[in-house]
Structure 1
């Protein structure tokens, strides 16, 4: 086992939902905005000069809303990049959770009820399983070389400890009773050890998040994400009059509801149909404006 203050510098960190999708759409979105602005009534001459059709002007309210959406995207990307820089600076001081506190694997899937081990920026920490010989079978370590673990918390361990202390061992024979009593004593000792380790680990990670400014940085990311969602909602409420306008609305929806669209895109449900339609609009609009 590595000591509790072992740095997480060599562990991998999986980012929380990022702006990668946004970066892919940025070129199309910028072209959409440029096209829409060019065909607005006050830019008729410029539109003709650039070869855009002026049969219909884009809704000015949509153009303004989309520009605010782009600003919100840029702000979110900026604060996320700052958090990434902070995480890199503090990565070698961030401790790995003691092996005794590791619980179920594949916590990066987000399906468990226990908290996952994370780095200072809140990203999933992916551990090398080859060194975890106390709790993992050789077969598991060979088949799963890297994974993120759920971790036991001090509060949950205290609850478990109380349950063990209130329990009364039983057994049909004296031998069975003695075995169960010994198991209870062992379980209590292990709980007490995990509480001690968890208290130390949680105090140290809380201290590092505070002194590094990670708490404030993560709050800025949260606020910027809320601002982006509001900006995307404003875009969705505006009527589109051109292909460029449809591209703006598809762009905003793809960014703000990207996770939901990814999940539902292959469904046969109406949600799946909507997700595929929005993706098609973004693709067709991107080609039309290329």
Structure 2
């Protein structure tokens, strides 16, 4: 097709041939279409406010949000209760009585009836590997009664003297044990450790109850799913479980929980 010269509309402008005009119109149309697509993509993308991305996905329903808020409060309450308990233990540490030697036995690793501190933790004495084992009041009373009864069955003076000495020793141990256990109970009452333990136990119960309620709710969005996964993580940490090391189905469940959290956090990043 021959090029047709298009006269310039304004005097002084250069003349444009038809081919150059068509090329220019096509380029303009392409640029306009590209701009429209870009605007549509921008409108469909998540809107950012500062550093936070607003997702178009459905958010968690109010019941999930309320329960999870209460769960976090319960976790904070347990932390505060444990801190208060540690303060009591430090405050009363110097007044906690050591068990008299007469009511103790050398410690071993597998025995649970051992000497403890105000917190209930094994109390290992300097230079010893394990906490000492303690005779209970029932054991001390039984020994004292038994050895006293054997005195009258002695067949000679030497045997009688030995049995009298043993009976006196067991009677003394019983008296020492009664004084020790009485002082232990007095300090437990005066220090407030019983109330502190009850406060921790109540927070533990609340964490378990709220976690169960959250897990019983059906998830209807990624946000709901994220809350359920985090509730499971909180419950596991509170119970002291590390199920991820399990190679069976229990480990699968906990690793799945971690994957859910990773995916949901990635979706909201």
Q: Same fold (TM over 0.5)?
A: yes
For the superposition of Structure 1 and Structure 2, which TM-score range results when normalised by the shorter chain? 0.5 to 0.7
Among 70, 74, 77, the alignment partner of 1:75 is 77
Measured after TM superposition, the shift of residue 280 of structure 1 is 4.8
Structure 2 residue 101 is matched with structure 1 residue 99 = yes
Distance 1:162 1:47 in 2: 83
Partner of 2:59: 57
Q: Does the alignment pair 1:229 with 2:208?
A: yes
Q: Which has the higher contact order (CA 8 A, sep 6+)?
A: 1
Q: Which runs of 5+ in 2 are unaligned?
A: 1-45
TM-score by length of 2: 0.64
Does residue 157 in structure 1 map to residue 140 in structure 2?
Answer: yes
- Number of paired residues? 219
User: CA-atom RMSD, angstroms?
Assistant: 3.8
Contact 2:143–2:170, Cα closer than 8 Å, also in 1: yes
Equivalent residue for 2:176, pick from 154, 178, 197: 197
Helix, strand or coil: the match of 1:253?
helix
Give 1:1-290 correspondences, 5 Å limit: 48-49=48-49, 50-103=52-105, 105=107, 112-114=111-113, 116-120=114-118, 122-130=119-127, 141=128, 144=129, 147-162=130-145, 188-258=167-237, 259=239, 261-262=241-242, 264-282=243-261
Q: Is the 8 A contact 1:102 1:152 kept in 2?
A: yes
Unaligned runs of 5+ in 1: 1-45, 131-140, 169-173
Whether the 8 Å CA contact 1:118–1:124 is kept in 2: the answer is yes
> Would the aligned equivalents of 2:115 and 2:133 in 1 still touch at CA under 8 Å?
yes
Instruction: Tell whether the 8 Å contact from 2:245 to 2:251 is kept in structure 1 after alignment.
Output: yes
The Cα of 1:68 is off from its aligned counterpart by: 0.5
Distance verdict in 2 for CA 1:153–1:61, change over 3 Å: same
Q: Which residue of 1 aligns with 2:27?
A: none
- How far the C-alpha of 1:206 sits from its partner, in A, is 1.0
Contact 2:58–2:223 under 8 Å retained in 1? no
Change (3 A) 1:214 1:54: same
How far off is 1:149 after superposition? 3.6
Larger Rg: 2
